[in-house]
């Protein structure tokens, strides 16, 4: 009896030791994650050969299980156009089509070269980062000419943006597209009434788009024909055309359009991204931690192509078992944003003392995050996934 007990005990101990190393192997930051990522890459490459991701019919309803979302899909029609470039058709844009782009009522890729695999709309503009404004003008002109009857709202996004269309429709449901409105994350520099940052997407009402194309594009004193960052230029144009740049925060002041990567919003906060803070401060106060971001968030920015699948999976496919909707106050219509009448002055930014405190915090947290990043994800980068064009 004693011997049996001893053997059982020994077996149990060795079992746990083996399991421990087994687990440790999985959690070790070395090769394992690479292998997993590599498998994803191989899969993506195969779909290139088999045309899987490009030539499939878009079936938005496949992804919309909820009756309410389905109803919103038909009532609040959103045309999405994606600014892309020839070298990114395959590298980035197709991943938008494979993920969130499916949920737009109409999805259009604007580029300077035809590519039937996406497909793209080729517009007559010079390619290049310095020429985005020219591309934007031509894109909106094309969309107004060809698709004005097919949508109520017109979203511009990049090939590294992610948009939750259901939350966009929910937010837009309190507005009238016959009013001259435009929406996004508002920055306060350059333009008196602010402008919407381009990366997390911005949205024009039909009336704003009409004014832009029929009035603005005819008159270079209203909409400049010179090259400046496109989001600043469209902001200037919107101001001149008396289109209102709306507050898109939720009623708790949390952002719905998130201009930098989500991990930054959730940890350091965008005020501590000095580049952003010095050059392009936000119009409204911003918050960090979970209060940074609304539970009805809409636009995200700075995603790698693999992030598209990560977001899609976490937002649409995972359901924590036994948890339906943790929010008790979700309304059939959203509460208006805090500054719905656009009377708040621009947020002055932190005081000098705050800035010193922020700087210390930033150095401390960034070095902690960097250390974490080095051990956990240094080797996640892969040639095919590098975002090296900005």
In the complex, which residues of this chain contact ligand NAG (CB under 6 A)?
Answer: 29-30, 34-35, 38, 42, 49-51, 176, 178, 375, 378-379
Is 224 or 379 the residue whose CB approaches ligand NAG more closely?
379
3-state SS string for the chain: CHHHHHHHHHHHHHHHHHHHHHHHHHHCCCHHHHHHHHHHHHHHHHHHHHCHHHHCCCCHHHHCCCHHHHHHHHHCCEEEEEECCHHHHHHHHHHHHHCHHHHCCEEEEEECCCCCCCCEEECCCCCCHHHHHHHHHHHHHHHHHHHHHHCCEEEEEECCCEECHHHHHHHHCCCCCCCCEEECCEECCCCCCCEECCCCCEEEEHHHHHHHHHHHHHCCCCCCCCCCCHHHHHHHHHHHCCCEECCCCCCCCCECECCCCHHHHHCCCHHHCHHHHHHCCECCCCCCHHHHECCCCCEECCCCHHHHHHHHHHHHHCCCCCCCCCCCCCCCCCCCCCCCCCCCCCCCCCCHHHHHHHHHHHHHHHHHHHHHHHHHHHHHCCHHHCCCCC
C-alpha–C-alpha distance, residues 119 and 135, integer Å = 17
For residue 94, which of 387, 380, 315, 308 has the smallest C-alpha distance? 308
Cβ atoms of 256 and 184 closer than 8 Å: no
Is 171 or 277 the residue whose CB approaches ligand NAG more closely?
171
Least Å distance, CB 85 to ligand NAG, is: 23
Is 178 or 367 the residue whose CB approaches ligand NAG more closely?
178
Is 169 or 288 the residue whose CB approaches ligand NAG more closely?
169
Least Å distance, CB 39 to ligand NAG, is: 9
Is 47 or 63 the residue whose CB approaches ligand NAG more closely?
47
Least Å distance, CB 38 to ligand NAG, is: 4
Cβ atoms of 250 and 256 closer than 8 Å: yes
Q: Is the dihedral of CA 279, 284, 288, 293 positive or negative?
A: negative
Least Å distance, CB 97 to ligand NAG, is: 16
Least Å distance, CB 32 to ligand NAG, is: 10
Is 317 or 333 the residue whose CB approaches ligand NAG more closely?
333
Least Å distance, CB 193 to ligand NAG, is: 21
Is 105 or 177 the residue whose CB approaches ligand NAG more closely?
177
Is 176 or 386 the residue whose CB approaches ligand NAG more closely?
176
Is 274 or 381 the residue whose CB approaches ligand NAG more closely?
381
Is 31 or 66 the residue whose CB approaches ligand NAG more closely?
31
Cβ atoms of 211 and 243 closer than 8 Å: yes
Least Å distance, CB 30 to ligand NAG, is: 5
């Amino acid at each position: 009896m004693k011997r049996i007990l001893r053997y059982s005990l020994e077996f149990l101990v060795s079992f746990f030791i083996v399991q421990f190393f087994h687990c440790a192997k999985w959690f070790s930051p070395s090769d394992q994650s690479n292998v997993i990522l590599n498998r994803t890459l191989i899969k993506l490459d195969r779909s290139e050969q088999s045309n899987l991701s490009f030539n499939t019919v878009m079936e938005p309803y496949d992804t919309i299980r909820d009756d309410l979302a389905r109803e919103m899909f038909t009532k609040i029609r959103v045309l999405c156009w994606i600014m892309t470039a020839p070298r990114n058709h395959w590298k980035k844009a197709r991943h938008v089509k494979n993920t969130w782009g499916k949920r737009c009522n109409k999805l259009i890729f604007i580029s300077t070269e035809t590519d039937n695999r996406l497909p793209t709309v080729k517009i007559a503009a010079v390619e290049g980062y310095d020429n985005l404004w020219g591309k934007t003008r031509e894109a909106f002109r094309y969309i107004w000419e060809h698709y004005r009857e097919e949508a109520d709202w017109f979203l511009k996004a990049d090939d590294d943006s992610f948009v939750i269309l259901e939350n966009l429709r929910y937010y837009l449901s309190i507005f009238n597209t016959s009013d001259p409105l435009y929406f996004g994350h508002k920055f306060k520099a350059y333009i008196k009434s602010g402008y919407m940052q381009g990366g997390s997407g911005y949205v024009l009402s039909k009336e704003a788009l009409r004014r832009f194309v029929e009035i603005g594009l005819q008159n270079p004193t209203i909409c400049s024909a010179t090259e400046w960052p496109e989001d600043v230029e469209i902001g200037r144009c919107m101001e001149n055309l008396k289109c209102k740049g709306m507050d898109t925060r939720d009623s708790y002041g949390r952002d719905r359009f998130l201009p930098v990567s989500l991990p930054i919003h959730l940890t350091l906060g965008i005020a501590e991204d000095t580049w952003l803070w010095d050059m392009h401060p936000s119009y409204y106060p911003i918050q960090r931690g979970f209060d940074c971001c609304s539970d009805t968030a809409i636009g995200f920015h700075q995603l790698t192509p693999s992030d598209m699948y990560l977001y899609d999976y976490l937002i649409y496919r995972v359901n924590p078992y036994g948890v339906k909707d943790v929010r008790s106050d979700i309304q059939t219509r959203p509460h208006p944003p805090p500054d719905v009448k656009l009377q708040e002055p621009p947020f002055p930014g932190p005081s000098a003392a705050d800035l010193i405190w922020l700087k210390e915090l930033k150095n401390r947290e960034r070095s902690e995050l960097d250390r974490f990043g080095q051990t956990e994800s240094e080797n996640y980068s892969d040639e095919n996934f590098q975002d090296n064009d900005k």
